[in-house]
Each structure stands twice: as structure tokens, then as C-alpha cells.
Structure 1
């Protein structure tokens, strides 16, 4: 069946949503309406969860080789349909062509790692303090997983939950962000259907958060809710999930710092900062939000960084050379404009940028920023680079940790062992020495500390998150009891 980007995908069928509300899909660069989707309501949501529950037992009992073969087929489908995926990422999420291709490559690596899960779901046999008894610990799927996909890296980040969840024997219901209902949602129905996954194993419901958001979490069927998005929404999801004793995996916001120490290779640090700040317009949870530079190399770093920023191609994301494309929506554009104006009002210097054209916010550099300024305390989610001057390594560490967030980070120094010592003092789930903060490898633990989330994705950590364990004790012969 041809791809239908305006329907719900429930139990292997493309259906019109039953809500009287619609979701308009808008190209963030042109403002053009690229589709209208009839929203799902709670009845649609219930159908999706019921379908997932019905399909789960048979899917979990499918032998590992057959489950793995579905993912092998999915890799071929991903290659065959790469053009349509790139097209949707560009026109729906404002991705540049470079970013869209990189995102698909990352999703492919997630699939390849997940393919190993069916034969890595190992249990244990443990001894017992009771004579004649053995303890078996079985690892098995959690059941049905509810997945809420984000808008910024919609394809990769949704796949990061879908592939491992299904590979571990779960089934899933996916609810995409309203800004990217296709690239974070309906595309997956199309791809997984084409790869031959059984009906009900993956279901996609597109609906407004105000109509089905809470119900998506509170429904009695899902055992785990996986969410990638803002800390504010993630906190609300955690509250709802906790009320119903559901587990969550939450990858939330960040205020990531790059520490450029006095012995750093300045040009290498500049190269890394350009990528870590401006990839996808800085609309990444791992993007650099604060660049903290030692005073001995501050002037050199700022001069070189500004020159590189001036050279960044901006504008139409369909053009292959463009690096900085549009901001996702007008609300976020207004947020960035206000943030820059407030920073200048508080004493920061606007070196370059600060304005927008056709939803493209100019790459912006702010110097003379202090840790008490609002621009240094909040997640910007845009192409604005605040640079902070510090007098010592200790001050840099203190400022890096002066944030409720702790997702990713970076340390630059020619002494990599000192870099490791500094990195371990930063209160963050991930940090990279002599590299930038935007890294996600499918086999490595991915996740944050503090207000940046709960749980880890990737490798054995993802397998642990999407499975549970059961202790089965087996007694041989008669056991003696004290009464």
C-alpha cells in the first residue's frame, strides 16, 4: 500500500483519526502547508494499545532469527526509501540535507545494534542458600511500550526507542510531536509495514497533546513510557507515570558546556564548537549552550570563532551547501529573539547576528557573558553561542556545574589525561575530551543526569531498559521449614 501521510497507522491498517480536530503540517522554512491530518482521539489510542497488546505475546515468542530478519529487511527498506525520508526531514523539520543524511545514518546504526538484542537477552542461574534449590533469573520483554517522538531529530530519536523496544520482544505505540507528525511518526508505519513486521507490533497515533497526551501515559496497557523532549513536559510525564507505577525513560533538556582550557588547541576547539553549536541550528538537546574559555586563549578563540560563524551558509535547507536552516516555529523564533535582547540588556556584547529572516535566525555570537545572565542559565535551542571568559580551570568547572541540567559536554586540552580528570568532575551523563557535545553512538550509554533525564539508551543499557527480569526458584526434593 502506498504511504499515506495523513492517516493513523493502527493494527496494520491506515485509518482516519476519529477526533474532530486536525493537525496542520507546515514547512518551517516556507510556511507552506504540506498536509492536514485528522487527529486521533482516545478511542483511536485505545485501539492502538489493544492491538499492540494482542500482538505482543506472539511477537515475543517469535524465534530470534525471525525477529532479527525483520530488522535485516528494515535496513534494506531504509536504503530503498532514503530519498523520501530525506525529503520529509527537510520539508517538515527544517533539516538541512547534510543533517538529514547524517540522521538516517544514525538511525541505521541503531537498527544494526538492536538486531543483536534477540540473542543477547540472557538470563542467569544463581545458587541458593536453601539445600536442593536453584534460582533462575529470566530476562523478558516489558510488554507494550509507549513512545513519544520529538521534532528536532525526529527520525533518529524515534528509532532509538522503537528499534530496541521491538527487538527485545516488546510491541509499541508511537505518538509523534505535532510539529513533525510524519518524520517522527507516520514514516515508521510505512517503513515497518514494508519490512513485513506483523500487524500491531508497531502502531502510530497522531494527536494533540491536549486531547490524548495524558491518556497516552495513563492508559493501563503500556508498561514503559519512552520520551525525548523538554524537561517541563518530561517532568509532567514522570509525574503521571509515577502515579500509575509505570517506568519511564526520559531524555530531556540540556545546558551543555564546552570548557576550553588554557593549553587547548584553539583551532581544533573552534572547529568542534562550530559543529556542536550550529548543527541543525542548535536545535539539539546535546548542542553546546555555553562556551567557557580560559582568559589566556579567550581572545584568540573569539576572533577565530566569529570568523568561522561569518562563513556559515544559511537559508533554504533544500540547498546542499546550507548549514543553518529554519527554526521549527514562530514561538521558538520569538524565544530566541527575546533571549538575545535580554542578554544585551544584561551586559553581553552582540558580536554578530541577532536577527532573523524567513524563519532563519542568524548565527549569533554573544561575548562578555556571565553565568548569572539568563542566556547562560536556560536552554536556548537555537543558533546562539554565549561565550564566557574564566580565569582558571576551577572556575570553568564551577560554572559548568552551575546548572540544573546535566546531559552532555566537552573539554578541550592538549593533555588528554587532565581532560579526563576535568571531565569526571562535570555533573553530566556524557562528556567528551577534545570533541564537541553532540555525540550519539548506538552501542554506548546515552542519557543525562539531574534535570536532563532518567535512564539510558544504547547497547546493553538500552536492552536492560526495555526488558524486565523474573526470578524463578526451583526446589528439588523436600524442603524443611522451621514451623
Structure 2
């Protein structure tokens, strides 16, 4: 099915570009379809149009500072149009045959595969992704879309037992209606599409608000793909506007039944509060901050643990909610681990993410860079010892490794979200578990041991939504229940769990014959 979709798309894409999907031949290889263009406004009601807020936003390359596109911003009226368009289009979409919804996802997957190089290029230029990270994100986007192809056929109701003659009890599974999606800048396309794809496949309409740092890869590029795949107009809308103009109203608007948010715990608390306190209570899925512990027990394969932990911390400059924030190492292997870990970190090349040899590119913006520098200075002042580091070059911050870290230091308790890691020494498995759980967060985690049963027991004691044995903490699949505990959020993404989140139970009883009533 996958190969067929690609072949079909490649043979017809150049002739059948739908309205609104303006293209440009610039940088297009002979084998690739013409590149998309026209990322300068909003996608509302199936039309590409200028926002009505009056201002524009510059979207820039975080490494070079180059302006990629200037976008006319949306206001509250644009947001209202988007939600009303989604609500109107969703009625017919919910009634569509499963094969119709599945076919759109099949075509979207084919387009994503055919536009592989274009997508990767946008991820590198807009989000500062290295080649490795951009490829991983493209794979994740495709994998989630591939999983969503089956979703229209996996929505099942139930016939329930009932102790009343002549009466039947049924539970139907139905789409929620319109889902509002707010996505972050770190894995912009994946973290948007993991909600957008399933929501559409399950019969919902969507309004998407991408992060201001990644409006193309987090929103407009996705809209182009689904438009080209033949998604009926109005079902997917992308609004890009100032937070003070459309931020709170995005959640407070009466149309959406569900808000899917990925971002910081601070903002997630605010959105959760709006969803509960507004005129209409809404369901939410909040995937928030993390402080992932990576625990290296005394029987671990130290070399394997060290190499895996380097990836777990420094992939995409550590700008991942699942990134290994603290490495907790048993005293018996601590020195060996620190030596191997730092030796490997020193081999990492940092700089221009367009260079395939670069492992660490730029952080997303100056605000983030200033926060990282403050954390580095704070760690030194608190008594942590820096083994690896360096001065920033533009927005590229070299990897920083701290040892002699205590778990109550700010560098250990805060989510770094940058190329900074703390290594903490502990004595024994019991202390390792206490330290691992001594955080307000509970998203991802990892443990290394040669004894898999020991690893499983330890994993089940970690207060987190996800724990990976003998692997790093950055792991997400389209079939697993992705989500966190404590201040890392509520709700689950992926597989059967996202089907449950984006649909509702509707209980219906049918009396087939007259009943006996008490009065």
C-alpha cells in the first residue's frame, strides 16, 4: 500500500495540484514534485488568505538569521472563521465512509514520502534540526500517518448486557466534533500531526495553532499536504497570530470540544484552567515538561549506557521533552561512566545544522539561549563541576556536562531543554530510585542493567508515564501510550489511546416492546 501510494502520487502530482497549493520550481530535483510556496498567511475554510490582525511575523532560520517567510497575522475574527469552518465541514466528514477517510490518509502519506527532501529541508532551516533529527522527525510524521490509515476501521461500539426483557443497550463511539491543537517548536511537524492526523481520520474537524517559531513546519506545511491529499475544505484550518490576540480565545472559543496542547507545564496549567473555567467545559490532553532520569545501575553495560545517554541528552540540542535531564549513576561504575560519557561528548561536532556531520545545531531563539547561559552560571555557583562546555557561537551552544551535582540543585530540578546535562552519583538501587522520582515531572525515563528482570522491576517503580530499559529516554512510537504523570501532563497519544481521546461514548437504549412502568 505504501509503495503504491508513492508511485501514484509521483505520476500525478505535477498535473493535479489543487487550488491554494501554489508551487515553485526552486530547488526542486527532477524526481521530486515542485516545492510548495505561499506560506505567507492563514489556511481557513479551504482557502489561503491574509490574516486580518494588521501585522506580520518574520519566520527566521535560527542558525543564519535568514528570513524564511513573512506571515500576515490572524485576529479573533480569523480564529472564529476557522472554528466555524471546521464545525460546518465536520458534520459531513463524520458521516463519510471509513474508506473515504482512510483514503485521504493514504494519499497524505504518499505525499509526505514523495516530499521527503522538502520536508527535511524545512525542518533544518526553520527549527534548527540537524540532519539526523530532521530525518527522525520525518519518519515519525510518516509513521503516525501510516497508523492513522487504520483508525476509521478501529472505532468500535458495544452491545451491553441488560436484565430487562425487550430492551437493548448499546454504546456507540463517535467523533468529538472539532479539536483545537496547539503545538510546540521543537518537533513541530510531528507534534502537530500526531494530533491532526488521528483527529481527521476519526471524523473530527481541526483548528491548528503552531508555535510562532515554526509556523511552516508546525502548521502551514501540514495544511498543504492534506489539501493536496484531497481533504475536504474546512476540515483543517491553520491560524497564526499573536498570543495576546488569539491565545486564550483559542481555548475559550465555544466550538472546540477538545484542546490538544504540547508545551511547557506553566502554559499547560493555564490552558487546562481555561478549558475548565470557560463557558463550556472542554476535554484536554496536556503533554508538558519533563525531567527525564537516566539511571545506570551497578551491573550496566557502561559503554552502551554512555553512548545511549549521549543521544538521549543531546539529540536536537536537548530540546525534547523526553530528553535525559539527569543521569543517575551507581557509585560502583560512576567514574567509568563519566569518563566514557565525556569522551564521547567531546567528539560531537556542533555548528551549522545543514552540515550532515553536525550533531548539535542552534537553540531555537535568543530567549532560550539566555536561559541556558543562566543555568550554566547557576550550576557553577552551586558547586557543580563542569567537565565539558564552551562559549556560544551565535545561537549554537556547545554541549555542557556537569558532575558533582546534587539532585536539589536547580540545574537538576529544572527542565534544561538545551545541551546541558547533570550527572549524579548514588549508592545503590534504592537511592537511585528515590533520586529518579524526586522531581515534579514524570514524562520519560530510562534504566540500564544487564539483568532485564531487575530493569523491569525498577522501571515499574519509576513515577513516569514511560520508562525504557537499556535504551535512552527519547522514544515515541505511533502505537504506544505516549504521555506523562505528575506535572508532565494528562492524557495519552498514540494507537488505541488516541482513538479513545478523540472520540466519545454515546449510550443508546432501545425498547423493542412496551415495558411495565411503576406508575
TM-score, normalised with respect to structure 1: 0.99
Residue pair 1:337, 1:354 contacting (<8 A) in 2 also: no
CA distance in 1, matches of 2:419, 2:217: 22
**Residue 280 (structure 1) aligns with:** 316
2:422 to 380, 386, 409: 386
1:218-257 equivalence runs, <5 A: 218-243=252-277, 244-257=280-293
Superposition deviation, residue 47 in structure 1: 0.5
Residue pair 1:127, 1:133 contacting (<8 A) in 2 also: no
Residue pair 2:389, 2:401 contacting (<8 A) in 1 also: yes
1:336-355 equivalence runs, <5 A: 336-355=372-391
Residue pair 2:195, 2:260 contacting (<8 A) in 1 also: yes
Superposition deviation, residue 355 in structure 1: 2.4
**Residue 16 (structure 1) aligns with:** 50
CA distance in 1, matches of 2:192, 2:377: 34
Query: Unaligned 5+ residue runs, structure 1?
Result: none
**Residue 140 (structure 1) aligns with:** 174
Superposition deviation, residue 74 in structure 1: 0.6
Residue pair 1:340, 1:354 contacting (<8 A) in 2 also: no
Residues 1:212 and 2:246 are matched in the alignment: yes
**Residue 297 (structure 2) aligns with:** 261
Q: Which whole-Å deviations, capped at 9, do the CAs of 1:206-240 have from their partners, x for residues lacking one?
A: 11212101000000000000011111111100000
1:179 to 195, 202, 213: 213
Residue pair 2:113, 2:142 contacting (<8 A) in 1 also: no
**Residue 127 (structure 2) aligns with:** 93
**Residue 405 (structure 2) aligns with:** 369
* Ranges of 4+ aligned residues in structure 1 off by more than 3 Å: none
Residues 1:410 and 2:446 are matched in the alignment: yes
CA distance in 1, matches of 2:392, 2:342: 18
Superposition deviation, residue 21 in structure 1: 2.4
Superposition deviation, residue 313 in structure 1: 1.1
CA distance in 1, matches of 2:72, 2:378: 40
**Residue 319 (structure 1) aligns with:** 355
How many residues get paired?
A: 483
Moved more, 293-302 or 32-41: 32-41
Query: Unaligned 5+ residue runs, structure 2?
Result: 1-20, 23-36
**Residue 76 (structure 1) aligns with:** 110
Q: Which whole-Å deviations, capped at 9, do the CAs of 1:13-62 have from their partners, x for residues lacking one?
A: 10000002221111111122222111100000000001101100111111
Residue pair 1:348, 1:368 contacting (<8 A) in 2 also: yes
**Residue 154 (structure 1) aligns with:** 188
Residue pair 2:316, 2:360 contacting (<8 A) in 1 also: yes
Q: Which whole-Å deviations, capped at 9, do the CAs of 1:437-460 have from their partners, x for residues lacking one?
A: 000010111000010011000000
**Residue 475 (structure 1) aligns with:** 511
CA distance in 1, matches of 2:338, 2:225: 45
**Residue 100 (structure 2) aligns with:** 66
Superposition deviation, residue 415 in structure 1: 0.5
**Residue 302 (structure 1) aligns with:** 338
**Residue 428 (structure 1) aligns with:** 464
CA distance in 2, matches of 1:217, 1:182: 22
SS of corresponding position for 2:340: helix
